[in-house]
Amino acid sequence: MSAPKPRDFRWACRRATGSTDGVSETQGEIHLVLPDPIERAACFRVLAAGAARVVRSFASADDYLGAEADHGGGLLLFHWRQPGATSGSALLAHVATRPDITAFVAAERLSLDETRVILRGGAFDLLPAPLDPRLVHRTLDPAFGDWQLCQRDRLMRRTAAARLAALTPREVDILDAIAAGLGNKAIARRLALSPRTVEVHRANIMRRAEAGSIAELLRLRFIAESGRDTAENSFRFGA
């Protein structure tokens, strides 16, 4: 069986991650870091029941970080009060470096300084503790679907940017002119080139970007630029 054509953009996304099914970076996991074993087990049950997803639970932030090499991105729900050497604030600071992790904090009582740390630390939501498993399910279940969509968008942007990264500065100028709706003669006048030179550059752009049409080329450019200056996480105060 022959390989998919390079202009198949979904195939290009899968190829960029070394995956043939497209789920390696976007399937995700749910991680629970909850010290209380009863609370942890109850939340695990409601999140794992009837859902085709990986849910993992940990008794402490130390345990979670110790196993970090074995798990990928996804949702993380952790109690702000953590036993062991790693505090809740330290865990939040650590996952803030991971754009593929969306953090949820559970807390019973917080000082003003702690609230400020959570607000500035990139947590997505704050849940009241002790945790109600039903609330956890209502909060994390839709959030997990949103996370998967966001990861697919990030993967598409990364793949599009990688395909356009091979263009030379002159080819980028010509691509910008194409996106502005200019024809070969107008581009030649704008860049002080001959129409024939513009044609050669256009052919090179299509080849380097592995685009099968001008429409796909412009779609690549739009997707690559759509992720610029986009915040990965935004805090919302849940209940």
Domain 160-226 has CATH 1.10.10.10: yes
Beta strands in 123-202 (DSSP E): 125-128
Percent over 70 (pLDDT), the chain: 84
Same fold, 9-153 and 160-226: no
> Per-residue confidence at 89, pLDDT binned at 50, 70, 90?
very high
What is the reported pTM? 0.66
Is 140 within 8 Å of 31 (Cβ atoms)? no
The domains of the chain are located at 9-153, 160-226
pLDDT of residue 31: 96
Rounded distance between C-alpha atoms, residue 49 and residue 58, angstroms: 18
Rounded distance between C-alpha atoms, residue 138 and residue 140, angstroms: 6
- In three-state form (DSSP H/G/I as H, E/B as E, the rest C), the secondary structure along 69-116 is HHCCCEEEEEECCCCCCCCHHHHHHHHCCCCCEEEEEEECCCCHHHHH
Q: Is the pLDDT of residue 127 over 90?
A: yes
Give the Å distances, CA to CA, from 202 to 159, 160, 206, 213, 224: 20, 18, 6, 11, 19
Q: Output the CATH code of domain 9-153.
A: 3.40.50.2300
Q: Region 8-30: what's the mean pLDDT?
A: 50
Q: What is the pLDDT of residues 40-55, one digit of tens each?
A: 999 999 999 877 789 9
Output 125 or 25, whichever has higher pLDDT.
125
Rounded distance between C-alpha atoms, residue 171 and residue 45, angstroms: 54
User: Which range, of 8-12, 62-66, 103-107, 193-197, averages the lowest pLDDT?
Assistant: 8-12
pLDDT of residue 156: 86
Per-residue exposure over 216-236, b if at least 16 CB sit within 10 Å of its own CB, e if not: bbeebbebbeeeeeeeeeebe
pLDDT of residue 227: 62
Q: Average pLDDT of the chain?
A: 84
Per-residue exposure over 129-155, b if at least 16 CB sit within 10 Å of its own CB, e if not: bebbeebbbebbeebbeebbebbbebb
> Per-residue confidence at 225, pLDDT binned at 50, 70, 90?
confident
